[in-house]
Amino acid sequence: DTAVSQTPKYLVTQMGNDKSIKCEQNLGHDTMYWYKQDSKKFLKIMFSYNNKELIINETVPNRFSPKSPDKAHLNLHINSLELGDSAVYFCASSQDGSRSNQPQHFGDGTRLSIL
């Protein structure tokens, strides 16, 4: 019954590796997001997709590539992982991201640790 689910919950890997995080929402929402939360709890938007179309692409290294095979899924692939990529990554969704009064629903995060 989980509304926004992301896997894995924990990811520990070596510097230089490539990894993916998956996200799925069963809310029927049109818009999905990826956020990065650093050690100071600051939450920063990375990407947003609306009906599989990229609408927000913040200043993120091109080692990060989102992919939305359908509007219920938004995956995040990261190439050549660096120490600074260690953080908690959150997936979220909202009914219609173009409407500002829509609350966002978050997954429980993927804690990425780079060794």
Partner 1 sequence: SQQGEEDPQALSIQEGENATMNCSYKTSINNLQWYRQNSGRGLVHLILIRSNEREKHSGRLRVTLDTSKKSSSLLITASRAADTASYFCALRNTGGFKTIFGAGTRLFVKA
Site for partner 1 in 54-93 (CB under 8 A): 55-56, 90, 92
Verify binding: residue 40, partner 1, rule CB under 8 A.
yes
Q: How far is the CB of 27 from partner 1 (least distance, A)?
A: 13
Structure tokens at 40: 């100071």
Binding-site residue total for partner 1 (CB under 8 A)?
24
Show the 3-state SS of 60-80.
CCCCEEEEEEECCEEEEEECC
User: Distance between CA atoms of 28 and 58, rounded to whole angstroms?
Assistant: 25
Interacting residue ranges for partner 1, rule: CB under 8 A: 4, 35, 40-45, 48, 55-56, 90, 92, 97-98, 100-101, 103-109
